[in-house]
Structure 1
Amino acid sequence: MLYKTMVGVNKHLNKLISIGFPQLEVGSDTLLKAGELMAAAGATKVLIVTDAIIGSMPMTETLCASLSQSKIDYFIYDEVKPNPTIAAVAIGADLFHQHSCDAIIAIGGGSPIDCAKAIGAKIVTNRPVRKLAGKLKVRKKLPLFMAIPTTAGTGSEATVAAVISDPSAKQKFAIVDPNLIPDYALIDPSLMTGLPPHITAATGMDALTHAIEAYIGTYQNPLTNKFAVQAIEAIFAYLPTAYQNGENIEARERMAMASYEAGCAFTRAYVGYVHAFAHQLGGMYHIPHGLANAVLLPRVLELLYPSSKKRFAQLARIVGLEDGQQFIDAVDELNQQLNIPKAFPELIVSDIPLLTQRALAEAHGTYPVPSYINQQQGEELLKLFLV
């Protein structure tokens, strides 16, 4: 099969690409270090990339105060929406030049961080955003870049990818390049204590999806397995607590680190069908990415289980269970604890063939899936989520 040949070739090429890590700063009030770190790295004016909600919160004031204390000027771009678009990236790049910035700080969830990555990529390549889709199209170091996640889910502060939406095509695409990894990642659990439970749930399951898909894919290796196992253990142990008691700082920090570790795993071992279908649902209906992953995850695992029983048995042992089906049941139970829905009210029957076609094209062209599903299987999968 051509897909298998492509994945095999990409696996060997993947080993030749050096993927680094950001300088990691972890702990409550780590945000206060932002100005000092950026000043030491030579920043003089920063483009702060965020959304309107985060931009209006005290954490952004704290960030700005830290920059000012270190004599760094800044401009705030706070118009990023969920599923950032090509236009949002272009506006951000224009603002970077207009205000003579020399560094970027993203503060927020995966959308501001991905948008900031794409802004940096557009700045250094001076190419249309759509032409950066795919692998290794950037090839230049981004401007000095710091990521400050405010959710524990995307792991974008540790990854080589930025996912951008093309509203005209109702699709998402990924820009993938090692240069997208931030120079600094500040993980401050105190920024996450006010997250609403439903966002805690969806982002936490997003991180779990990253770790599981990295672990069962054919690109997995001892390093990615280590990160994935640590993330899976922590998520099962701490996500229910973070959901039930958002002020629990230990649970927040452990979930934040799990998100980072899952990011380290999947940026080297990639993801799979859950993400491929979630991207299409997000592009077509604007369903939040973490929520789409959470709803899809147990049903996709059921589809893959018969061909990957050994790997699923290993997943079961990670969380103290005996076999792969018990692990899938545990994922289902975790979704139930977190009040994750079982269907997508937005899903339209007539869209299912196109959604499946696009998802399989993404998965088979990019991801080292453990086994292959066909168009009919994909359509039957999506029908499970009709209301």
Structure 2
Amino acid sequence: MLHQTVIQIREQVNKLVPIPLPKLIEGKGAISQTAQVLTELGGVKPLIVTDAMLVKLGIAKHLTDALDAANIAYSLFDEVTPDPTLPLIANGWQRYKQDGCDSVIALGGGSPMDCAKAIAAAAVKNVDARKLVGLLRVRKALPPFIAIPTTAGTGSEATVVAVVTDPEKKQKFTIVDPSLVPAVAIVDPLLMLGLPAKITAETGIDALTHAVESYIGCYATEQTKAYGYDAVKRIFANLPKAYADGSDIEARRQMSIASFNAGVAFTRASIGYVHAIAHQMGGYYHVPHGLANAVLLPHILDFSFENALCRYAELAIAAGLANSEDSQVEAAHKFVAGVKALNKTLNIQAGFPELKANDIPELAKRAVREAYCDYPVPKLMNRAQCEALLHKLVTV
């Protein structure tokens, strides 16, 4: 009862809190416009937040070449690791200050995006990011901020969230504030051509999870449903193509748009139990977020079926899995079956080798607590149900 009451109140509050939409620049070679965009935003010396692998692969060079050509000085912080920790973010903030930066460019997947957002928030508030964990604790405009994704999955280039990890507690936390939405998102499919098939698959299902959880949750509006519906349509049509042929530029482009649209949807309509459990898998075992979502999504779809079947039926139409001749229940079943079939096509693993049965009670406790009164799920899950689900995912 408390959950339902709080969710209803938050639904009304959500309508009163304006969430900006980033300016979207997309298409082949869009990264070449970075210098012009930065100048328009008033940035003079950006901190580039990325990871060492993107530097090694030469992807970061596309960005630095564009800045060099415009004679724009920058500082390169390429120390980002998966699940960025609070100490790592503190190091990035120190670099920002020491090198006299006045703006931030995030280049990479979800981890560089989260790290960059937290660094920018710490810089504008002049406090350690640890103090910004929670809801609406930034409340100040970030320095000029450009997000350039190199995967089609997280949608972080459009969201209000930065996910950070406390290594001592082995737990993930979120910084949530509308000011975290980047001013500009530059989405260039050419940056994604070298993405391995496995990462393409996992990040693609991450985007699908965002679209689905935002669509079936209680906060969904006609606007968020439209973005989520479009994302599901593009993902089912293009993710298998991008997975099978990583050089398919049009499939990459469609997936990058789908990821952005899913990000727009879930940053306004929130998420659900897939993420609540995935966050624990990341915090405890460092399971990549996209992979955790991909493994968990079919199980949560089964769990919520009766409470969300009308929305499932609509998404089945979007995915091209059902038509108007199918009954609502038939279409809903086709959607769940379609997600499971997509996972098989993408060779998504069935469980988590890292998962230890002895950890399950604590993982379930944390996941249920994270979602309760925070996530507008169509069906509440108790701790015993969460434990039972996790036991299915233990692999020998």
Contact 1:158-1:185 at 8 Å conserved across structures: yes
Q: C-alpha displacement at 1:67, in angstroms?
A: 1.1
Contact 2:108–2:149 under 8 Å retained in 1? yes
- Find the partner of 2:345 among 329, 337, 358: 337
State the match for 1:324 in structure 2.
332
Cα distance in 1 between the residues matched to 2:59 and 2:46: 16
CA distance in 1, matches of 2:257, 2:217: 22
Please list, as runs of the form range in 1=range in 2, the aligned pairs for 1:119-130 lying within 5 A after superposition: 119-130=119-130
**Paired residue secondary structure (2:271):** coil
Q: How does 1:157-306 map to 2 (within 5 A)?
A: 157-306=157-306
Letter in 1 for 2:172: K
CA distance in structure 1 between the partners assigned to 2:314 and 2:66 by the alignment: 45
Q: Which residue is 1:155 aligned to? A: 155
What is the distance in 2 between the residues matched to 1:192 and 1:256?
9
Percent of aligned positions that are identical: 50
Contact 1:205 1:294 (8 Å CA) reproduced: yes
Deviation, structure 1 residue 147: 0.5
Counterpart Cα distance in 2 of 1:309 and 1:258: 23
Q: Which amino acid is 1:354 matched to?
A: E
2 CA distance for matches of 1:30 and 1:317? 32
Separation in structure 1 between the aligned mates of residue 232 and residue 106 of structure 2, nearest angstrom: 26
Which deviates the most, 322-331 or 277-286?
A: 322-331
- Is the Cα–Cα contact under 8 Å of residues 114 and 162 in structure 1 kept in the other structure? yes
Match of 2:6 in 1: 6
> Distance between the aligned counterparts of 2:42 and 2:9, measured in 1?
40
Please state if 1:51 is matched with 2:15. Answer: no
Shift of 1:316: 1.8
Paired position in structure 1 for 2:32: 32
Q: How far is 1:4 from its partner?
A: 1.0
Please tell me the root mean square deviation across aligned C-alpha atoms, in Å. Answer: 0.9
User: Deviation digits for residues 283-314 of structure 1, max 9, x if unmatched?
Assistant: 00000000000000001110110222222222
> 2:240·2:345 contact (CA, 8 Å) conserved in 1?
yes
Deviation readout 1:246-302 (Å, 9 max, x if unpaired): 000000000000000000000000000000000001000000000000000001110
Q: CA deviation at 1:59?
A: 2.6
Given residue 381 of structure 1, which amino acid in structure 2 is its aligned partner?
L
Larger mean CA deviation between 206-215 and 127-136 belongs to: 127-136
CA contact (8 A) 2:150 2:191 kept: yes
In structure 2, C-alpha distance between the alignment counterparts of 1:41 and 1:354, rounded to whole Å: 45
The one-letter amino acid paired with 2:21 is: F
The one-letter code of the counterpart of 1:70 is A
Q: Which stretch of structure 1 is more off in the superposition, 120-129 or 311-320?
A: 311-320
**Partners of 1:31 and 1:63 within 8 A in 2:** yes
Conserved? CA contact 1:43–1:72, under 8 Å: no
CA distance in 2, matches of 1:168, 1:108: 25
1:364 counterpart letter in structure 2: Y
Partners of 2:123 and 2:41 lie apart in 1 by 19
1:362 corresponds to 2:377? no
Q: What's the secondary structure of 2:350's corresponding residue?
A: coil
What is the 5 A alignment of 1:89-100? 89-100=89-100
Q: What letter corresponds to residue 378 of structure 1 in structure 2? A: C
* Alpha-carbon distance, 1:324 to partner: 1.1
1:39 and 1:70 in contact (8 A); partners too: no
Q: Output one character per residue of 1:152-184: Cα deviation in whole Å (capped at 9) or x when no partner.
A: 000000000010111100000110000001111
Cα deviation 1:43-82 (Å, max 9, x = unaligned): 2111000000012232312211211222210010000001
Paired letter, 1:283:
G
TM-superposed CA distance for 1:40, in Å, is: 2.5
Query: Which runs of 5 or more residues in structure 2 are unaligned?
Result: none
Which residue is 1:385 aligned to?
Answer: 393
8 Å CA contact 2:106–2:147 kept in 1: the answer is: yes
Aligned length: 387
C-alpha distance in 2 between matches for 1:2 and 1:55: 48
Q: Which moved more, 1:334-343 or 1:364-373?
A: 364-373
Unmatched tracts of structure 1, length 5 or more:
none
User: 8 Å contact 1:36–1:67 — kept in the other structure?
Assistant: no
Report the TM-score, using the length of structure 1 for normalisation.
Answer: 0.98
Moved more, 167-176 or 118-127: 118-127
Confirm or deny: 8 A CA contact 1:39 1:72 kept in the other structure.
Answer: no
Q: Which moved more, 1:58-67 or 1:132-141?
A: 58-67
Native 8 Å contact 2:55 2:78 kept in 1: yes
Which residue number in structure 2 is paired with residue 348 of structure 1? 356
Letter in 2 for 1:314: E
User: Is the CA contact 1:146–1:185 (under 8 Å) kept in the aligned structure 2?
Assistant: yes
Q: Give 1:133 shift.
A: 1.3
- Distance in 1, Cα, partners of 2:137 & 2:280: 22
Q: Equivalents in 2 of 1:122, 1:43: separation in Å?
A: 17
Distance 1:365 1:98 in 2: 41
Distance 2:313 2:57 in 1: 44
Contact 2:4 2:373 in 1 (8 A): no
Write the letter of the residue equivalent to 2:384. Answer: Q
